[in-house]
Amino acid sequence: MSQTIRRLKISPSILTADFGHLATAIADAADGGADYIHLDVMDGRFVPNISFGPKVVETVRALTTLPLDVHLMIEDPDRYLAEFAEAGANLLTVQVEACLHLHRTVQRIHELGCKAGVALNPATPLEAVREIVPFVDMILVMSVNPGFGSQRFIETSTNKLRRMRKTLDELNPLCDLQVDGGIDLHNIDDVVRAGANVIVAGSAVYNTRATPGENISQLRKAASAGLWQEI
């Protein structure tokens, strides 16, 4: 059986960064070895919080060459896909719960020249994304209820990731598996072993304990067992 080697990628979420010094936050993450910048877009409807829109994505686009991983926690995301693509998003992730015609949405994202991700909330069963798996570049398993940074990791997410990876292996082995919410030095190794290969980290990267670069290296070290996953 041929083996696929998958590199662990870190996607720092700027939600918890200091927006007064966004340029520094982005530069620190890039210098510290981030693979993406994760941008959490919230509309106050799909989630009980409002963050930012295409303007901030465009601002971040001008600050880095890293791919922008844009997580759309918004209702009816079709209305804004083009704007986010034009703003410079490389990967657009929509929530399965927010899409009536998910296959069409994924198609549209690809037509716009972006990679397509689909996220599922903690209470959403894996079955909800099974039919779309062959068509996407990434599945995002939310390990907190979306809306806020610095929440506690929901422990059952590890088992959900393991089952999701099994489905990906079966239907789309090259598909990335992202995890988002409450990831820290204590649980990163578990989620990587469970099959996650793109790790979103907000408060574990942007905090007062160390610089973003130091935090990213610590996370990589903590996940060392899964740094290179062989499947």
Q: Which residues lie near ligand DX5 (CB under 6 A)?
A: 13, 15-16, 38, 40, 71, 144, 146-151, 180-183, 200-204
Catalytic pick among 35, 40, 43, 137: 40
**Minimum distance of Zn ion from residue 82's CB (angstroms):** 21
Decide if 69 is catalytic: no
For residues 88 and 92, give the distance between their C-alpha atoms in angstroms, rounded to a whole number: 10
Task: Please list, residue by residue across 156-178, b when 16 or more beta carbons sit within 10 angstroms of its beta carbon and e when fewer do.
Answer: ebbebbeebbebbeeebeebbbb
State the binding partner of 190 from ligand DX5, Zn ion, none, CB within 5 to 8 A by kind: none
Binders of Zn ion in range 144-183 (CB under 5 A):
180
**Are 71 and 180 spatial neighbours (Cβ–Cβ below 8 Å)?**
yes
H or E element at residue 88: none
Instruction: Select the residue whose beta carbon is closest to ligand DX5 and give its number.
Output: 202
- Closer to ligand DX5 by Cβ: residue 194 or 200: 200
| Residue 121, binding choice from Zn ion, ligand DX5, none, Cβ under 5 to 8 Å by partner class | none
31 is catalytic: no
Cα(164)–Cα(141) distance, integer angstroms: 8
Please, what is the minimum distance in Å from the beta carbon of residue 151 to ligand DX5?
5
Is residue 64 a contact partner of residue 88, using CB atoms and an 8 Å limit? no
